[in-house]
Amino acid sequence: MSRTKALLIVHHSMTGGTRQMAEAALAGASAETKVEARLLRAAEAGPADVLAADGYIFGTPENLAAMSGQLKDFFDRCYYPVLDQVNGRPYASLICAGSDGQNAARQIERIATGWRLKPVAEPLIVCTHAQTPEAILAAKRIGADDLARCAALGEAMAAGLALGVF
């Protein structure tokens, strides 16, 4: 009997949008009984969590056209302690953006490339079109269609891990 696989979802959220997306991915992943999916805030996740997982979903808001400082801090704290120990593991990303989210996606991709992770999906970017200070700072509500896309990503990641596709 093969061991249960582990999916780690690491996220940061200031206004709730990325949290909703990460929770939807967790709900989708939880449908797969052969995978233990964990959701951790970036400030709580560390190298041991990364090493214990077989695959990853990284979630961030787009802050000043970049990934959030909290997710960057997670990568800063974990990068060297796990380097060369997670090669080939699959990852995907969730980005709650006010504009296009592309730079945040590129930053995550560069770090994942350094870790030699394998991208298994295009970055899932939800654009809220928040452009004023008031809209940027306001609590976000992610729509049902976008949450369904996040859930499908979580489900696909978990299924791929369970089946040994990744």
| 126 within 8 A of 17, measured Cβ to Cβ | yes
Q: CATH number of the domain that 151 lies in?
A: 3.40.50.360
* Percent with pLDDT over 70 in the chain: 99
Token representation of residue 45? 């996740």
Q: What is the DSSP string of 26-70?
A: HHHHTT-TTEEEEEEETTT--HHHHHH-SEEEEEEE-BTTB--HH
pLDDT at 2: 60
Asked if pLDDT for residue 28 goes beyond 60, the answer is yes
Q: What are phi and psi of 5, to 5 degrees?
A: -85, 160
Question: Confidence band (pLDDT; 50, 70, 90) for 43?
Answer: very high
Mean pLDDT value of segment 116-125: 98
Q: Could you give the CA distance from residue 26 to residue 9 in angstroms, rounded to a whole number?
A: 7
pLDDT at 3: 75
pLDDT for 65-95, tens place per residue?
Answer: 999 999 999 999 999 999 999 999 999 999 9
Asked if pLDDT for residue 127 goes beyond 90, the answer is yes
Q: Which amino acid does the sequence have at 63?
A: N
For 136, the domain range is 5-163
pTM reported for the whole predicted model: 0.97
Coil/strand/helix, residue 99: coil
Asked if pLDDT for residue 1 goes beyond 60, the answer is no
| 9 within 8 A of 22, measured Cβ to Cβ | yes
**How many folded domains does the chain comprise?**
1
Asked if pLDDT for residue 155 goes beyond 90, the answer is yes
